[in-house]
Chain A
Amino acid sequence: MGRLNWPIALAAGAAMLTSSLTGSAQAADSTDPIKFVLNDWTGELLSSRIMGEALKRQGYKIDYVQADAMAEFQGLETGDLDVVMEVWATTQKQVFDNALKTGSVENLGETGMKAREEWWFPEYMKEKCPGLPDWKALKQPDCVKAFSTPDTAPKGRYLGGPVTWGGFDDERVQALGLDFEVVHAGTDAALFAELESAYKRKAPILLWIYAPHWAPSVYKGEWVEFPPYTPECYAEKKYDCGKPHGPIWKAAWSGVKTKWPKAHDAIQKFSITTDEMNALIYKVDRDKQSVEDVTTKWLDENEARWKAWFQ
């Protein structure tokens, strides 16, 4: 082989490169990637992906960043993170309110989903602890025994969510004088894997269930009725009450409004119903489809809906 002719080789290379151009029309917004937060429960992953992928189809660049439900506000305040698609009134309200007070975080309105989180038991447990769903039943020694397991004996066992979700369950147990030990599930999946296993065998279980989620409709059971939540109960750090109910909000770093005004507008319009979300989570958790596939399918099927967010 003779000597390579470098100028020609380079020119050929450059030509091949330019032929692979993927020129995309730029939106009027900044071309920097928008950083979406991914938390550790399936619903949030879906909400984030749906909004993020919709924006991508409109020519935006999106980065997905892993952050925890409590720590994420730190990132939102400094602009390290841009958008959080689910902020639950049930557990995150306090931190969210504090973040809003700094002025660096903006509430982008409700997602359309209503949140409920509380201690939950399957229906068959009512036979073993007849006083339920009233929380006072949990004070009866018989009930404590019914919910007790070798790990926690002589105390009852309550399976809480991953510690990342907060929720003040340790404080609640202490404030209400319940003889229960809070075991944290570590992960979302472990929580429901245990419920499934226990439910099949009618084994005793008392655990943290949240909605929107498929579990309350697939399994028969009820939420424990604690003394109703009041803002003072949490503000004064008493925690002798149940968890608050309320909407799920969207939140953003306050700079999003000026940096990506159109995207900001679209995220504000994002809306999805609780039932819809339940079905999507079911597809991921039970039918073992990937979050990405479920998102793509939803976007393909609901094109008119998400395109309307950009009007």
Chain B
Amino acid sequence: MTRDRTSFSFEQRFGISAAIVVALACVSWSLPIAAKYPLSWKWPLDQLLTMWLKFLVAQISFITRGIAHILQMPLDFAIGLLAKGFEIPLGSETVTIPPLSWAGVCATFVWIGYRVGGTRLALLQAACSAYIVLFWQWHAAMLTLASVLVCVPVAVACGLLIGVFAYSRPKLNQWVLTPGLDIMQTVPAFAYLIPTLLLFGFGPVAAMIATVIFATPPMARVTTLALNQTPMEIRELGKMVGCTERQTIWRILLPSSLPSLLVGLNQTVMMTLNMVIVASMIGAGGLGFDVLRALRQLDIDRGFESGVAIVLLAVMLDRQGVALANAAKPGAASSKTLAAMFGVPLAFLIVATLLGTQFDWLREFPKALRLSTGATLNDAVSWININYFDAIEAFRIFVLTHFMTPIKVALTSAPWLFVSGVVTVFAYFVGGARMAFLSAFVFAFCLVTGLWDKAMITIYLCLSATVISVVIGIPIAVLAARFDPLYRATTVAIEVLQTLPSFVYLIPVVMLFRVGDFAALLAIVAFAITPIIKFTMTALRTVPADLVEAGKSMGCSGAQMDFFIRFPVALPSILLGINQALLFALAMVVITALVGTRDLGQEVYIALTAANPGRGLVAGLCLALLGILIDRLFQAGVARLQHRKSSQSFVHGELAAA
């Protein structure tokens, strides 16, 4: 049994830890094996996994191919309906049925927006549709919408089933399902694209299935949560009227938690749209592919136009979904309003599409009226590049030589025994034996699979990015929390940064700062800074009013209020924001593989491009484990901090009372 850590005093524990660290340092720098893990000791887990997976694929591919074949049908139908039309061979001739007219689809969005959300929503839908049509994104947007329309029901169905299953078997949920969902969400999507490719073949269906894997966990979680939160009376009611357990769940509990389930549906739609670019790497077309292509050609304008179209499509579906969820609350809609809601748009669609066979402009928006940013953004970035090259370069070199390279050299050249030992001792310090065990396991995994160097580079990138995010983010958040107009502007900016596909802002970053660690760092910062600002801003603004009043009455100045009152109260939330930032940074690492980093993300990306499932999964697992370790360590640290603080204030309180 492990000894209870409270049995040592703080000084004793500190002494023991310091002794272990010194001992580790001595061993690490004197034993070559402790400094650099011998290549020949590598456990070929990746090769084993690849072998098993290939074997598995050979055994079950007829089943998965069958599933792919079945899913292909609704997808083909949706794509035909929205984007490509149908060609039906009739004898020696082919009948062409055109896809739905853009005018009809737009009218449908506006109409439903009007019915469920009034004029405001209708205007929003009209504006978003207008952008998509005018900027000539219609065809790609409909391809994307088609895959969303097929993915979402499948993901929702899977999520519901898993969620209900988890609710009815709490033990299984705790030990199998929850960790499973955790891993589904932390292993980068790139890593499971490869097994998906092998099982389901190249093309839109494989991309769709990867999307479903990515989008299912939130729905499953929401379902379990909603079921657990249903009031006791409703469950009792089920028992009283003599329902079986299954009937209680499906007939009573699920319908009564419809509003929460609709939130889950909304999440699923958002996750699906998040995946479009990654999915386009294995054959999904549409907006995602356009952004990817723009990145490959370094064409900021095209990437920006398509990226904004993705954001707007997400906004349209999101707001429509929220309005529908609200409308669903007061009770079931009557059949008359339903008829109006769906009958009218149906008429729009049919009429516009039929007319489209006669009038070209209804079938396809006239190219002459197309709007475009042309090459404005490209020109702007090149102008900056030409005129400010020296300044940009000087800045880049300064950050690299004085900040990034030292961290990199320290982490990559430090002996593995020392690094893992110190972190493990630290883990024991903040979280006890269990945390130490987790830490040792994570480092051992990275080490024996031969990924140590890449793991260190990953940590170096995430750490540098998080430090910079904190340095830039917290002052912004402090200012934004104080001034209302700035607060609103920052909120919008954060939302844009979070929904705009990260690939879009990789393009100008690469053009200005060239490929390499610095470009990757900036891209990671742009993504990881959002939770820091968000958490800090919210925490500072929600400091209890009586505390603020107390501060004011004591005559604190503005800065004093921030430092002595708001900051200490908001500290746990701020730390949580930093924790989130680290996790966001880890998630972004995979994407920065596209701008030439040498970390675990690149390992996953290489595996993807070489269709090597084992290599990708091992690197993906390594990333997921690092993420879990960082998360748990941070949370344990914050918990200890709070504990210490509360016990301290307790002591102070007692003293005061005495």
Which of the candidate stretches A66-74, A212-220, A260-268 sits at the interface with the other chain? A66-74
Which residues of A are found within 8 Å of B285, using beta-carbon distances? 66
Q: For residues 181 through 232 of chain A, which have their beta carbon under 8 Å from a beta carbon of chain B?
A: 181-190, 193-194, 197, 201
**Stretch of B43-51, B95-103, B318-326, B336-344 contacting A (4+ beta carbons < 8 Å):** B95-103
Asked whether, in the complex, the Cβ of B94 is within 8 Å of the Cβ of A193, the reply is no
User: Contact flags (1/0) for B609-623 with A, using CB distance below 8 Å?
Assistant: 111000000000000
Q: A13-B354, A186-B595 are in contact. Are A20 and B96 (CB under 8 A)?
A: yes
Chain B residue with the shortest CB-CB distance to A72: B202
CB closest chain-B residue, reference A188: B296
B606 near A163: Cβ-Cβ < 8 Å: yes
Chain B residue numbers with a CB within 8 Å of A35 are: 202-203
Contact B201 A78 (CB under 8 A): yes
Q: What 0/1 readout, one digit per residue, does chain B (188-203) give for beta carbons within 8 Å of chain A? A: 0000000001100111
| Contact A151-B518, Cβ < 8 Å, known A24-B94, A186-B595 | yes
B94/A17 in contact, CB under 8 A: no
Cα-based distance from A306 to B292 in the complex (angstroms): 31
Is B197 touching A197 in the complex (CB atoms < 8 A)? no
Q: Is A28 in the interface zone, CB < 8 Å from B?
A: no
Give the CA-CA distance A236 to B385 in the complex, in Å.
Answer: 45
A71 to B206: give the CA distance in the assembly, Å: 14
B280 at the interface (CB under 8 A from A): yes
Bound state CA distance, A304 and B310, in angstroms? 42
- Contact partner of B510 (CB less than 8 A), chosen from A21, A181, A186, is A186
A102 to B546, CA, bound (A): 76
For window 2-26 of B, CB contacts with A under 8 Å fall at none
Q: How far, in whole Å, are A159 and B281 apart by their CA atoms in the complex?
A: 23
Interface-located stretch among B396-404, B469-477, B582-590: B396-404
Within 8 Å of chain B (Cβ to Cβ): is A8? no
| Cβ of B238 under 8 Å from chain A | no
User: Do B515 and A68 touch (CB < 8 A)?
Assistant: no
Task: Tell me whether A66 and B283 are in contact in the complex, defined as CB-CB below 8 angstroms, given that A16-B357, A22-B96 are known contacts.
Answer: yes
Contacts A75-B202, A183-B515, A186-B594 given; does A70 touch B609 at CB 8 Å: yes
A81-B202, A197-B514 known; A68-B385 Cβ under 8 A: no
Contact B397 A150 (CB under 8 A): yes
Given contacts A151-B400, A186-B510, A193-B511, contact A26 B298 (CB under 8 A): no
Q: Are A70 and B610 in contact (CB under 8 A)?
A: yes
Cα distance, A184 to B520, chains bound together (Å): 12
Q: A165–B496 Cα gap in the complex (Å)?
A: 34
B511 in contact with A71 (CB, 8 Å): no
Residues from chain B with Cβ under 8 Å of A72 in the complex = 202
- Contacts known (A22-B94, A184-B596, A188-B296); A74 close to B197, Cβ less than 8 A: yes
Q: How far is the CA of A185 from the CA of B296 in the complex (A)?
A: 10
Contact with B along A10-54 (1 / 0, CB 8 A): 000100111111111010000100010000101000000000000
User: Is A166 an interface position by the 8 A CB rule?
Assistant: yes
Q: With A24-B94, A66-B283, A151-B518 as known contacts, state yes or no: A186 contacts B593, CB within 8 Å.
A: yes
| Chain A residues within an 8 Å CB radius of B611 | 68, 70-71, 73-74
The answer to the question of A134 belonging to the interface, with a C-beta cut-off of 8 Å to chain B, is no
In contact, B296 and A69 (Cβ under 8 angstroms): no
Is A101 interfacial (CB-CB < 8 Å)?
A: no
Whether A175 sits at the interface, judged by CB under 8 Å, is no
B375 near A: Cβ within 8 Å?
Answer: yes
For the complex, is B358 an interface residue (Cβ under 8 Å from A)?
yes
Within 8 A of A (CB), among B376-423: 385, 389, 396-397, 400-401, 405
Q: Are B94 and A71 in contact (CB under 8 A)?
A: no
A-contact bits for B276-300, CB 8 A (1 contact / 0 none) = 0000111101000100100111110
Residue of B nearest to A63 (CB): B203
Shortest Cβ distance from residue A285 to the other chain B in the assembled complex, whole angstroms: 8
Chain B CB within 8 A of A279 CB: no
- Please indicate the chain A residues that have their CB under 8 angstroms from the CB of B93 in the complex: 21, 23
Q: How large is the interface on B (under 10, 10 to 19, 20 to 34, 35 or more residues)?
A: 35 or more
Q: How far is the CA of A164 from the CA of B518 in the complex (A)?
A: 22
Query: In this assembly, does B608 line the interface, its C-beta being within 8 Å of a C-beta of chain A?
Result: yes
Counting chain A CB atoms within 10 Å of each CB, which of B98, B203, B516 scores highest? B516
Given contacts A163-B605, A186-B510, A20 and B201 within 8 Å (CB-CB): no
> Is B517 part of the contact surface with A, judged by Cβ < 8 Å?
yes
Taken together as a complex, chains A and B put the C-alpha atoms of A78 and B197 apart, in Å, by 11
A42 surroundings in chain B (CB, below 8 A): 297
Does A288 touch B at the CB level, under 8 Å?
yes
Of chain A, the residue at the smallest CB distance from B605 is: A163
Cβ-based interface call for B602 (8 A): yes
User: In the complex, what distance in Å separates the CA atom of A185 from the CA atom of B510?
Assistant: 10
Q: A171 to B558: give the CA distance in the assembly, Å.
A: 59
Taken together as a complex, chains A and B put the C-alpha atoms of A187 and B296 apart, in Å, by 5
Instruction: Find the A residue at minimum CB distance from B298.
Output: A189
**A146-191 residues at the B interface, CB under 8 angstroms:** 150-151, 153, 159, 163-164, 166, 181-190
**Given that A151-B516, A183-B516 are contacting pairs, would A80 and B596 also be in contact in the complex, using a CB cutoff of 8 Å?**
no
Smallest beta-carbon distance A165→chain B, Å: 8
* Cα A309 to Cα B514 with chains together (Å): 43
Q: In the docked arrangement, what's the CA distance between A31 and B397, Å?
A: 58
CA distance A117 to B518 in the complex (A): 27
Cross-chain contact of B357 among A19, A81, A193, A201 (Cβ < 8 A): A19
- Whether A187 contacts B202 in the complex (CB less than 8 A), given A65-B283, A68-B608, A150-B401, comes out as no
Given contacts A17-B95, A17-B357, A190-B510, contact A75 B608 (CB under 8 A): no
A262 to chain B, nearest CB (A): 18
Q: Is B242 an interface residue when CB atoms closer than 8 A count as contact?
A: no
Please name all residues of chain B whose beta carbon is closer than 8 Å to the beta carbon of A74 when the two chains form the complex.
197-198, 202, 611
B590 CB, min distance to chain A CBs, angstroms: 12
Interface residues of B in 605-648 (CB under 8 A from A): 605-606, 608-611
Contacts of A78 in B (CB 8 A): 201
Q: Can you list the 10 inter-chain pairs with the closest CB atoms, starting with the nearest?
A: A80-B201, A71-B611, A189-B298, A75-B202, A164-B609, A20-B357, A80-B202, A68-B609, A23-B93, A150-B400
A residues sitting closer than 8 Å to B (CB atoms) are 13, 16-24, 26, 31, 35, 40, 42, 65-75, 78, 80-81, 150-151, 153, 159, 163-164, 166, 181-190, 193-194, 197, 201, 285, 288
Q: Can you sample 29 A-B contacts with CB below 8 Å? A: A17-B354, A21-B94, A22-B94, A23-B94, A26-B92, A26-B94, A35-B203, A66-B280, A67-B202, A68-B281, A68-B608, A69-B609, A70-B609, A71-B197, A74-B202, A75-B202, A150-B400, A150-B405, A151-B400, A163-B609, A183-B516, A184-B598, A186-B593, A187-B295, A188-B296, A189-B296, A189-B298, A190-B510, A193-B298
Q: A66-B285, A197-B514 known; 8 other A-B pairs, CB under 8 Å?
A: A17-B95, A21-B93, A22-B94, A151-B405, A153-B405, A166-B610, A184-B598, A185-B596
